[in-house]
């Protein structure tokens, strides 16, 4: 009995260490992210027994990878095709690594606290840039730019990471016992929510208010706590109004988004506007899928196909605006056709279904995991892949109990 226990203890400590390195790397270093996402799988080769749940999740992940891999048969640019495959492999390595060990509740809690600390430090650093250059940054928000952020200045994914921290932190606040811990968690949550409004990234705010809406409905409909739910709704409304009135970055962002929308919704696609470019990317993805419904153009040739589409349909587009469709289903449609969309959808739904428990916070995490897939190329970058893997294979374990 001693040898297996020591073996599992070593494996758990290794995976825990790699998760810590991964969390630090997500904020400051791609090299750390790449290293930890590969090394985390090491315990699997010494302890190859996976439970039924992990085996099902492996099937789900492989279904998501299959269209990308198969499209290599007709992709001409094998370098870009392999990049698309390689960037998704951490879904497999993290699943096998985390799935091969057991984490105690205490270790999960400590890891969540560390995640909250790191994200909070990242927010403080980002906000400090605003304090040093308020006028410049406020003006930048009228030109599709935002605060500098950690995670390679990827404000979309970083805002997603912040919202995940808010959910995990709020869950911890409701379950923590020591008063000091609860006060610290409350202060941390205030910091994160205020920062999300200062950053004013659409993905982060949509996820934040979507999660808040789900929790309010849960209080009113399921728990029958109507007064509490309505009070929380009022607090959210007042907070949103106050933030809009007092935060120039948020106000400028809203004005920019509305102006951009008024243009592209009326058919005027102006160069240099981010939302218009996203709309064009989705239009390109839809038409390329319609033109190649059986096998797509291949994941290695998507950028070339998108560039050609712009040359034919919108030659005024700037080079940096000719990017992959800002929707994961349209990416799979463009790269692998409708069969690829179906395969990806089955795998993705299975992944979310098998990692979601009856806990309301688990449902919220699943929902806000879906939002970036609707409006961004989440699986085509290292950060998006690893945030999804962290949510699905660790974050949801923390929320596995059926009740708060």
Name 146's Cβ contacts closer than 8 Å, sequence gap at least 6. Answer: 140, 155, 199, 200, 201, 249, 253
- Asked whether residue 255 is assigned to any structural domain, the reply reads yes
Rounded Cα gap, residues 110 and 255, in angstroms:
41
Q: How confident is the model at residue 4 (pLDDT cuts 50, 70, 90)?
A: very low
| Number of structural domains the chain divides into | 1
Return the percentage of the chain with pLDDT > 70, whole number: 94
User: Which is more confident, 267 or 355?
Assistant: 355
Token pair, residue 142, equals 């009228």
- What value, to the nearest 5°, has the Cα angle with vertex 345 and ends 207 and 321? 60
Q: Please state the φ and ψ torsions of residue 77, each to the nearest 5 degrees.
A: -90, 90
Give the pLDDT confidence of 259-268 residue by residue, as tens digits: 877 777 666 7
**Structure confidence at residue 102 (pLDDT):** 81
Does any domain span residue 190? yes
pLDDT tens sequence across 161-170: 999 999 999 9
Structure tokens at 79: 């370098």
pTM of the model as a whole: 0.91
* Inside any domain, residue 21: yes
Residue 289 is assigned to a structural domain of this protein: no
Mean pLDDT of 229-254: 94
Average pLDDT, whole number, for the chain?
A: 89
Q: Is the pLDDT score of 89 beyond 90?
A: yes
In a domain, 275, yes or no: no
DSSP line for 129-165? HHHHSHHHHHHHTTTT-----HHHH-HHHHHHHHHHH
pLDDT of res. 3: 44
pLDDT in tens, 26-71: 999 889 999 999 999 998 888 767 788 888 999 999 999 999 999 9
Q: Which domain holds residue 83?
A: 2-260+327-398
CA pair distance 351, 166, nearest whole angstrom: 22
Whether 170 maps to a domain, the answer reads yes
Q: Is residue 296 part of a domain?
A: no
| 169-185 confidence digits (pLDDT tens) | 999 999 887 889 999 99
Give a yes or no: residue 281 inside a domain.
no
Give yes or no for residue 87 having a pLDDT over 50: yes
């Amino acid at each position: 009995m001693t040898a297996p226990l020591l073996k599992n203890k070593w494996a758990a400590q290794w995976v825990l260490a790699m998760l810590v390195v991964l969390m630090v790397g997500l904020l400051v270093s791609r090299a750390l992210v790449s290293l930890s996402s590969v090394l985390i799988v090491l315990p699997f080769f010494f302890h190859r027994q996976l439970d039924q749940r992990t085996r099902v999740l492996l099937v789900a992940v492989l279904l998501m990878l299959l269209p990308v891999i198969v499209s290599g048969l007709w992709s001409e640019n094998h370098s870009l095709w392999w990049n698309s495959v390689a960037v998704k492999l951490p879904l497999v390595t993290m699943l096998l690594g985390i799935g091969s060990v057991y984490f105690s509740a205490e270790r999960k809690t400590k890891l969540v606290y560390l995640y909250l600390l790191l994200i909070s430090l990242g927010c403080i650093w980002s906000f400090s840039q605003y304090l040093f250059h308020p006028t410049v940054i406020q003006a930048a928000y009228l030109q599709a730019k935002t605060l500098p952020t950690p995670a390679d200045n990827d404000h979309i994914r970083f805002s997603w990471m912040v919202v995940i921290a808010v959910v995990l932190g709020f869950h911890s606040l409701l379950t923590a016992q020591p008063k000091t811990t609860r006060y610290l968690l409350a202060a941390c949550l205030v910091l994160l929510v205020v920062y999300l409004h200062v950053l004013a990234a659409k993905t982060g705010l949509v996820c934040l208010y979507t999660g808040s809406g789900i929790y309010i409905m849960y209080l009113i409909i399921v728990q029958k706590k109507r007064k509490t739910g309505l009070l929380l709704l009022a607090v959210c409304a007042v907070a949103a109004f106050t933030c809009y009135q007092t935060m120039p970055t948020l106000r400028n962002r809203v004005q920019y988004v509305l102006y951009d929308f008024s243009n592209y919704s009326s058919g005027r696609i102006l160069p240099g506007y981010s939302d218009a470019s996203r709309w064009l990317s989705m239009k390109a993805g839809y038409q390329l899928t319609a033109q190649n419904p059986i096998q797509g153009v291949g994941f290695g040739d998507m950028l070339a196909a998108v560039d050609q589409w712009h040359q034919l349909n919108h030659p005024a587009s700037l080079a940096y605006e000719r990017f992959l469709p800002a929707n994961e289903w349209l990416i799979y449609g463009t790269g692998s056709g409708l069969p690829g969309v179906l395969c990806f959808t089955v795998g993705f739904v299975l992944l979310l279904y098998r990692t979601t428990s009856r806990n309301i916070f688990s449902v919220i995490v699943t929902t806000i995991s879906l939002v970036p897939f609707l409006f961004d190329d989440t699986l085509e970058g290292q950060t998006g892949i690893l945030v999804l893997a962290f949510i699905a294979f660790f974050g949801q374990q923390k929320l596995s109990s059926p009740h708060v």
